[in-house]
Amino acid sequence: MAISDIYPTALRLLGRPVLVVGGGPVAARRAKGLLDAGARVTVVAPVACDALGRLSAAGLLTWEPRKYVGSDVDGAWFIQTATGDAGVDAQVAADAEAQRIWCVNASDHEASAAWTPAVAEVDDIKIAVNAGGDPRRAMAVRDAVATALETGDLPLRRRRQPVAGAAVVPGSVALVGGGPGDVGLITVRGRRLLGQADVVVADRLGPRELLAELAPDVRVIEVGKTPGHHPVPQVEINRILVEEALRGQRVVRLKGGDPYVLGRGGEEAEYCRQHGVPVEVVSGVTSAISVPAAAGIPVTHRGLARGFSVVTGHDELAEVPARADHTVVLLMGVGQLRASAAALGAAGLPGDTPVGIVENGYLPEQRVTIGTLDSIADQADAAGVANPAVIVIGDVVRVSPFAPAHFRTADYSTTCPNHPRVLTT
């Protein structure tokens, strides 16, 4: 049988009688798939494997413990052979053909009237692959397609619009953390939801390149903010999310970093729930940790720091430990850098404490500026440091490969924690 002779279709077997002839593991797998489709399954086999026996004992199918007879095909809508005996399978197929019943002959795919594809489900999409009678090849292709759908590389978005006059089914909102900007750092779940979106409410930061991959009819609503400039107030963003979802749209709120780390995601989720809109939160790679890592700076390191604080301005600095062994991460802090450095110094942090600034983390234009608490504000002014940037304050900056040589006078070992080992040359 050539693949060109196959007419792909899907059978609705809900509540309809089907016959499985055979009692081994293959028959069990086929019977399970037919049960999942809602069919009324009868198995004819002298002996049944454990899996089939359990299904029968649970009352999920009927097992006839005997040899096949020609009248077994009577009344069936669909038949699957899996006896392992080519002669028996051929007889079942011939009896089915005589009654114009579709039958899968597991012993002879070339002569079979029907083939069973390799199947997978992603959301409400069912993938079925035939590969010229080569089941391993079909399974490999099926898995590749399913993975591409799961990761958002292939579109999952629904295309059919509701029929005019029909009741609108409420949509949903997904708050997706897009990470620091590199498209490779969005989660698989976030990428998948973005591929399903009808409306994307987008921040200025995050993986903006992914917006260009959206279908032309996906609406992108820009609500990006910059420090001190919020053209779309938060109350308006909340309203947009709910209004679009109540129109039946799948809405993705694409944020930079993580929606629950200084991203006001909690407010948006609460507003959606108050208005009866289903909301999902997809955590993202927060810039507070990932952007320093892009410059080789860990926020904790054995022998240097066992904790860290994330703040957005100098006002909160009075509440964090003013010690070089407690890392302070400043987000959106470039404009307040001089005041923040002075506040930490007044709280007792030594002036020679290392400070690193990472601009545009993970992007081609990434830049790292490293200095001390006393010098960093002047260095930032001279270099024209600008947001988006993450500022890291503490001894962990010494670990960065971008740190000047005199910062790296000791190797803080992970095998002997808390005991600096002097480097030898």
For 292-345, give the DSSP string.
HHHTT--S-BTTTBS-EEEESSGGGGGGS---TTSEEEEES-STTHHHHHHHHH
Q: Is 203 a catalytic residue?
A: yes
- Per the structure block, which two tokens stand in for 180? 């620091």
Catalytic site residue from 225, 325, 374, 411 = 225
Q: Is 32 a catalytic residue?
A: no
Tell me which residue has tokens 């359990």.
54
The answer to whether the CB of 171 falls within 8 A of the CB of 158 is no
- Which of 332-336's residues contact partners 24+ apart within 8 Å by CB, and which partners? 332/227, 332/262, 332/387, 333/389, 333/391, 334/227, 334/380, 334/385, 334/386, 334/387, 334/389, 334/391, 335/227, 335/228, 335/387
- Per the structure block, which two tokens stand in for 115? 């083939």
Torsion 329-331-333-339 (CA) sign? negative
The whole-angstrom distance between residue 341's C-alpha and the CA centroid of its chain comes to: 38
What one-character DSSP code corresponds to residue 85? -
Q: How far apart are CA 172 and CA 364, in angstroms?
A: 35
Q: What are phi and psi of 88, to 5 degrees?
A: -65, -45
For 366-423, give the DSSP string.
-EEEEEETTTHHHHHHHHT--SSEEEEESGGGGGSTTS-GGG-SEE--SSSTT--EE-
Catalytic site residue from 203, 255, 258, 395 = 203
Closest residue by Cα to residue 39 from 61, 6, 56, 55: 61
> Which residues, listed in sequence order, are joined to residue 226 by a DSSP beta bridge?
229
Provide the H-helix boundaries in 134-260. Answer: 135-150, 188-196, 234-246
Give catalytic residue positions. 203, 225
